[in-house]
Amino acid sequence: MARATFDYTITVLKKVSFNSELFCKELKKALENLLPNEVEELSIWLQCFIENKPDLLICMALIK
Residue 24: what residue type?
C
Compute the average pLDDT of residues 8-18: 97
Confidence of residue 2 (pLDDT cuts 50, 70, 90): low
One-letter amino acid at 31 equals L
Q: What percent of the chain has pLDDT over 70?
A: 97
pLDDT at 1 over 80: no
Sign of torsion over alpha carbons 19, 25, 31, 33: negative
DSSP string, 10-37: HHHHHHTTT-HHHHHHHHHHHHHHS-HH
Distance CA 18, CA 22 (A): 8
**What digits encode the pLDDT tens for the residues 34-55?**
999 999 999 999 999 999 999 9
Residue with more model confidence, 20 or 64? 20
